[in-house]
Amino acid sequence: MAPKNSKVTRNPNLIPGIGKYSRSQMYHKKGLWAIKAKNGGQFPHHEKKAKPETTSEKPPKFYPADDVKKPLVNKRKPKPTKLRTSITPGTVLIILTGRFKGKRVVFLKQLPSGLLLITGPFKINGVPLRRVNQSYVIATSTKVDISGVDVNKLDDKYFGKKAEKKKKKGEGEFFEAEKEDKNVLPQEKKDDQKLVDASLIQSIEAVPDLKAYLAARFSLKSGMKPHELVF
Amino acid sequence: MPFKRYVEIGRVALVNYGKDYGRLVVIVDVIDQNRALVDAPDMVRTQMNFKRLSLTDIKIDIKRVPKKKTLIKAMQEADVQGKWEKSSWGRKLIVQKKRASLNDFDRFKLMLAKIKRGGIIRQELAKLKKEAASS
């Protein structure tokens, strides 16, 4: 039989706990008489399926003194933060905090952690591929064409801190060993930056003044009221 | 200093307070000392206190409480909208609205244009100064 999308009860509630129809009326409504008749006077009875032989479990060696409470099962899967409707791929954002405050950058995509992936582009305003929180950003209504950009390989792991290799504790060499260069950006990341920015810069240069706009920082001037400004 | 703009039937006014702020309306009747019956093509005819109205220079020729169709026809014949948009008051309001709706990018482009204009003016001024100094 085709499954019904909504379950309609044959016995509507007059009050929760009291149905409209009596037990014998329900017997008739459910058609149990017809099922019995089809089966020759008896209600169809199916033999219980034989359970497969399981090896008998040994009684445990240890019982805890007090009953151990089992924690309730939690099937919650965290979702990435809800993205503001004004932020779509290609939107120009104004960063409000951090060393790039005031910079206007291009939004690429939202990462699974909820953070926004942005890029300056680096050649235009010095902002690299970076993650930024939605709360510290103003979304403008200016959009850049982002169709030529491939950001599939960039995710949270790409930006996370690299796990440090365990250092052996040699006493004399302790301070020298610390001086390894940790601050050099790997060439691979520089190449990724160039790749992402190449097509972006082309679509930016297609719009007059947009390059200069992204290169300039935003600041509040005298007389500007943020709550009245249209961004 | 006599009054130049009178409350009369057909006087076009600007609503300066309330739900219809910024709308151009026509006074179609006077109710009492404080209130007028006011009408506009896209609005239900309502009463308004005179304090909510700012009278304009524009006046149209209608009889007391005309039908909506007659009102619209009279407004089009007198070209109220056109006269308003050409008047300095009307133009000021349009500019204010435009400035308020500017995007962040638009404001940036405006700044560039202002700088460019200032540069051209300064060049011309320098040229004129030089001519004045040399002559």
> Could you report the per-residue pLDDT of B71-128, keeping only the tens digit for each?
999 999 999 999 999 999 999 999 999 999 999 999 999 999 999 999 999 999 999 9
- Taking the alpha carbons of A220, A226, A228, A230 in that order, is the dihedral positive or negative? positive
A132 contacts chain B (CB < 8 A) = no
Question: Across the interface, do B103 and A141 touch by the CB < 8 Å criterion?
Answer: yes
The answer to whether A85 and A207 are in contact (CB under 8 A) is: no
pLDDT of residue A172: 54
pLDDT of residue B23: 94
User: What parts of chain A have a pLDDT lower than 70?
Assistant: 1-6, 165-182
pLDDT of residue B57: 94
Question: Across the interface, do A213 and B102 touch by the CB < 8 Å criterion?
Answer: no
Question: Across the interface, do B104 and A94 touch by the CB < 8 Å criterion?
Answer: yes
A216 contacts chain B (CB < 8 A) = yes
pLDDT of residue A166: 63
Average model confidence (pLDDT) across chain B = 94
Q: Model-level pTM?
A: 0.72
A231 contacts chain B (CB < 8 A) = yes
The answer to whether the complex's ipTM is over 0.90 is: no
> Taking CA atoms, what residue in B is nearest to A207?
B105
Residues of chain B in contact with residue A229, where contact means CB-CB under 8 angstroms, are 104
Whole-angstrom Cα distance, residue B85 to residue B27?
19
| Confidence grade of residue B50 (pLDDT, cut at 50, 70, 90) | very high
pLDDT of residue B96: 94
Alpha-carbon distance B115 to nearest alpha carbon in chain A (angstroms)? 14
- Taking the alpha carbons of B76, B36, B84, B94 in that order, is the dihedral positive or negative? negative
- Specify the higher pLDDT residue, A152 or B41: B41
pLDDT of residue B3: 93
Query: Using H for helix, E for strand and C for coil, what is the string for B36-93?
Result: EEEECCCCCCEEEEHHHEEEEEEECCCCCCCCHHHHHHHHHHHCHHHHHHHCHHHHHH
Phi-psi domain of A223 (left: phi exceeds 0; alpha: psi -120 through 50; beta: other): left
Closest CA to A131 of A98, A102, A177, A162: A98
The answer to whether A133 and A84 are in contact (CB under 8 A) is: no
**Which of B:4-33 have CB within 8 Å of A?**
none
B109 contacts chain A (CB < 8 A) = yes
> Which residues have CB under 8 Å from B12's CB, separation 6+?
B24, B25, B26, B27, B55, B56, B58, B59, B60, B80, B84
B102 contacts chain A (CB < 8 A) = yes
pLDDT of residue B41: 93
